[in-house]
């Protein structure tokens, strides 16, 4: 197994002098290639801070992070931008699609500046669109498609470069339960069949139940982790809720 994410002793302190706040402390974890992992915890636990650090848009106060074996914390902005483009894919709660581009052009946008030949780009779009069930809407514009289709388009855009790591921030937050289920099944499939590595922040126990592992943080500290193993998704869902009821942050819309 290949380690894709290696987080060692991460600490994040906001502010300076007398006004400091420790948002993360002693955070250690690894994620292996092909894993689909959720990060959960109550509001204010430090989930967004952790995701922003992994996304290279915020820096830890101390600690080390390797993504695909590469340390990026001391990179200069240009090198960091290249690292972000080549190694990371993003899925946000509000899709972040460009309204003036078709679904297809949104998906291939991350490859627009690459030197990849057109046939290879076409092939990739076709394969990923088929995987996510959006072949029929490739020529449509974001305003013509549903929220679920928008998020599957965003997932295709995140996958098109075959990034080492996909970071998803509450990807089902704006979706109805049927669209959310379809998206989660797709992400699960992509991790199992394409060995995509996905790290997802969510407060939704149902969403987390599609993952192989759930990491919980509370007050900036690692709290516990649970592993799905051979249990069914329903049993795992129940386990996730049990932990949430202890640490707080359980959603009430199940």
The residues of the shown chain that bind ligand ADP, judged by CB under 6 A, are: 14-15, 21, 23, 41, 43-49
CB 153, min distance to ligand ADP, A: 25
Q: With CA atoms as reference, report the closest residue to 247 among 205, 206, 198, 200.
A: 205
CB 217, min distance to ligand ADP, A: 7
Nearer to ligand ADP, 46 or 163 (CB): 46
Neighbours of 73 (CB within 10 A): 14
Q: Write out the two tokens for 172.
A: 């089902």
Q: With CA atoms as reference, report the closest residue to 172 among 187, 193, 159.
A: 187
Residue positions counted in the chain:
254
Nearer to ligand ADP, 46 or 148 (CB): 46
In sequence order, the 6+-apart residues with CB closer than 8 A to the CB of 32 are: 1, 2, 3, 4, 197
Nearer to ligand ADP, 49 or 164 (CB): 49
Q: With CA atoms as reference, report the closest residue to 197 among 53, 6, 62, 61.
A: 6
CB 3, min distance to ligand ADP, A: 24
Q: Within its chain, how far is the Cα of 81 from the centroid?
A: 18
Nearer to ligand ADP, 46 or 142 (CB): 46
CB 223, min distance to ligand ADP, A: 12
Nearer to ligand ADP, 191 or 202 (CB): 202
CB 1, min distance to ligand ADP, A: 28
């Amino acid at each position: 197994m290949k380690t894709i994410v290696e987080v060692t002793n991460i600490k994040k302190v906001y502010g300076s002098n007398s006004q400091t706040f420790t948002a993360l402390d002693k955070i250690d974890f690894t994620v292996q290639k092909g894993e689909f992992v959720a990060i959960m915890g109550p509001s204010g636990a430090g989930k967004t801070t952790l995701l922003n650090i992994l996304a290279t848009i915020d820096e830890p106060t101390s600690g080390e992070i390797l993504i695909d074996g590469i340390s990026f914390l001391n990179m200069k902005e240009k090198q960091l931008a290249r690292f972000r483009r080549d190694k990371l894919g993003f899925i946000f709660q509000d899709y972040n699609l460009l309204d003036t581009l078709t679904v297809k052009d949104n998906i291939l946008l991350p490859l627009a500046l690459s030197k990849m030949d057109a046939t290879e780009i076409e092939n990739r779009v076709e394969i990923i669109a088929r995987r996510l069930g959006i072949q029929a809407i490739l020529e449509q514009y974001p305003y013509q498609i549903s929220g679920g289709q928008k998020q599957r388009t965003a997932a295709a855009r995140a996958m098109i470069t075959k990034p080492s790591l996909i970071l998803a921030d509450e990807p089902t937050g704006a979706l109805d339960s049927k669209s959310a289920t379809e998206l989660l099944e797709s992400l699960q499939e992509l991790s199992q069949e394409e060995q995509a590595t996905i790290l997802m922040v969510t407060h939704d126990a149902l969403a987390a139940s599609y993952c192989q592992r759930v990491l919980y943080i509370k007050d900036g500290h690692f709290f516990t982790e649970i592993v799905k193993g051979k249990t069914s998704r329903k049993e795992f869902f129940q386990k996730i809720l049990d932990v949430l009821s202890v640490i707080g942050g359980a959603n009430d819309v199940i």
